[in-house]
Amino acid sequence: MESIRSWWERYGFQTAIVTAGIGLAWIIRQTQGVAIMETYQFLSRPFQSNVSKQELIQDAQVRELRYRLTELESQNQRMKELLQVKVSPTDAGVWATVIGRGADSWWNQVLISKGSNDGIKAGAVVVAPGGLVGRVTHVSPNSSQVLLVSDPNSQIGVVVSRSRYTGMLKGQSQNTATLEFFERDPDVKVGDIIHTSQFSTLFPENVPVGRIKSINLDKQPSPEAIVEFSTPLGLLEYVKIYPFKDKL
């Protein structure tokens, strides 16, 4: 008995500390730290902001909804401006497949699978998902040749949708074109949407063409911009043809 008392007097404090530590570890394991977290919250409450947890959650929800709304508005605007092609509200148009294009004229012209037997005539407007593709230049009974807007011989009167400034769009044998403005100081920004103008003689107005990629306001004799076509002309498989009579 004397030996036990002597051992306790010598190691009792260390034993109590170890036992308490083991007990605390067991409690933490069983409660997954909830007790410690609650203790921390209680002790740190005087130093915390007066903003309630509910208010923080609501603020985060509002931010999330705002971000979602911004994204939806952006998608909706893009769909309206680039995918909703308006040529003739009373005519459904004729779908055709692209059946030919030369390696040396990839960006200049395509051959499509509809011709005069399907009512296609020279001057018809050709579009695809995204916007303007070009116009029919030659017609045979079962096929038609389309001059693409990317052809250097293609010139289109266009307008900046946001500011209504106008210019002439000229193809460059690639997926971009050069836009020469008629005004000396046009209100134009990178990202602006370009449509066919009401002054265009070969195309109906308000057909989406592309988006401003870069601007050179110091270009002589008139300011110039590079426009990226909204339709992937290099990947065309299907197009839609609408009848159109020249305004001349």
Quick one: 39 and 98 in the same domain? no
Question: In this structure, is residue 75 part of a structural domain?
Answer: no
pLDDT at 45 over 60: no
- Output the pTM of the full model: 0.63
Quick one: 136 and 221 in the same domain? yes
- Tens of pLDDT, residue by residue over 174-189, are 889 999 999 888 999 9
Quick one: 26 and 113 in the same domain? no
Question: In this structure, is residue 26 part of a structural domain?
Answer: yes
Q: What is the pLDDT of residue 91?
A: 56
**Percentage of residues of the chain with pLDDT beyond 70:** 62
pLDDT at 89 over 50: no
The band of 32, judged by pLDDT with boundaries at 50, 70 and 90, is: very low
Quick one: 124 and 217 in the same domain? yes
Question: In this structure, is residue 57 part of a structural domain?
Answer: no
Question: In this structure, is residue 89 part of a structural domain?
Answer: no
Quick one: 101 and 201 in the same domain? yes
Question: In this structure, is residue 112 part of a structural domain?
Answer: yes
Quick one: 37 and 100 in the same domain? no
Quick one: 44 and 103 in the same domain? no
Q: Domain residues for 6?
A: 1-48
CA–CA separation, 33 and 29 (whole Å): 7
pLDDT at 114 over 90: yes
73-77, 189-193, 232-236: which has the minimum mean pLDDT? 73-77
23 vs 51 pLDDT, higher one: 23
Q: What is the pLDDT of residue 231?
A: 87
Q: How many domains does the chain have?
A: 2
| CATH number of 177's domain | 2.40.10.340
Question: In this structure, is residue 53 part of a structural domain?
Answer: no
77-86, 144-153, 237-246: which has the minimum mean pLDDT? 77-86
Question: In this structure, is residue 66 part of a structural domain?
Answer: no
Quick one: 207 and 122 in the same domain? yes
